[in-house]
Structure 1
Amino acid sequence: MSQAIYYINQNSSALIGSIPEQAINIPIGDVLNKETLLTSLAKVGSFPSYFSHNWDSAWDCLTDSDIKYLKIYVNEVEKINTEDFNVFKRIVEDAYNDFGKPQLWIIVASND
């Protein structure tokens, strides 16, 4: 695999099985926004105490970490701030382009 972000349909067991076992789940509750993304990412990534809960600091900590694979389930999120989610995805893409990590799997609801 040679891209930063993959979209996986929740009902596709073959595709779900393609997510690396080492992928760290970023838990999101009912609302996906900057606050929930950064808080969850910092927790699962064991970011250092100097993490400033902003996008620049997230990029710094991601690229300094050993995290290679992330996954996020958005199939049951009730409200997504698309602007914040797009910024997060750009951070992942930029980090991947510069350092070859991390890769992100986004699990989405089926269109059925």
Structure 2
Amino acid sequence: MVKTGQRAESLVHAPNGYALRTIKGAKCQTTDGLLTEFARALDFPDYFGHNWDALEECLADLEWLPAKGYILLITNAVQVLPDEEEYETFLEILRDAGEAWGIGQAGMGARRATPFHVLFAVSEREKAKRAHWRMTEINAEPTREAGLRRRTPSKRT
């Protein structure tokens, strides 16, 4: 939850070696806009196909963006895909990517389990604009320490 007067970007600080990328939710109101914004923010390769399957493939790979972990911050998240069916598809792709990074990969191109987090920044006022966010809600509070900010878990919506 982003409080009035706060900027989501000021609340999230990636640990050393992590890739922190900001996705502008205002540009993600359509599937095409979302795919274009993810490609921009994550520097997707030229072969990115601008469809759901290509997004899923690129999010589960990210070899061109080596990091110890990944944090994707979606600002103005209330504007992301107002169509519920498209929103559900998007969340499923994010879940699948998170699971893929969480278990790692054996064999050729092996990689260790790697943190992969997607944060949807929304204000208390905007939260009610979407009936079901389908994710755990956290409240970000600035701290004096470097690194990720302290978060207060709250109820699931």
User: Per the shorter chain, which TM-score range?
Assistant: 0.7 to 0.9
List gaps (5 residues or longer) in structure 1: 1-8
1:58–1:11 CA distance, 2 compared to 1 (3 A): same
Structure 1 counterpart of 2:73: 71
TM-score by length of 2: 0.54
List aligned pairs for 1:1-112, cutoff 5 A. Answer: 9-11=1-3, 17=11, 19-21=12-14, 22-29=19-26, 32-65=29-62, 66=65, 68-74=70-76, 77=79, 80-100=82-102, 101-111=115-125
Bigger fraction of residues in helix: 1
Per chain length, whose mean CA-contact separation is higher, i.e. which structure has more relative contact order (CA < 8 Å, sep 6+)?
A: 1
List gaps (5 residues or longer) in structure 2: 103-114, 127-157
Moved over 6 A (4+): none
1:53-99 residue CA offsets vs partner (Å, 9 max, x unmatched): 11111011111104711011235639722322221121111111122
CA RMSD of aligned residues (A): 2.8
Paired residues in the alignment total 102
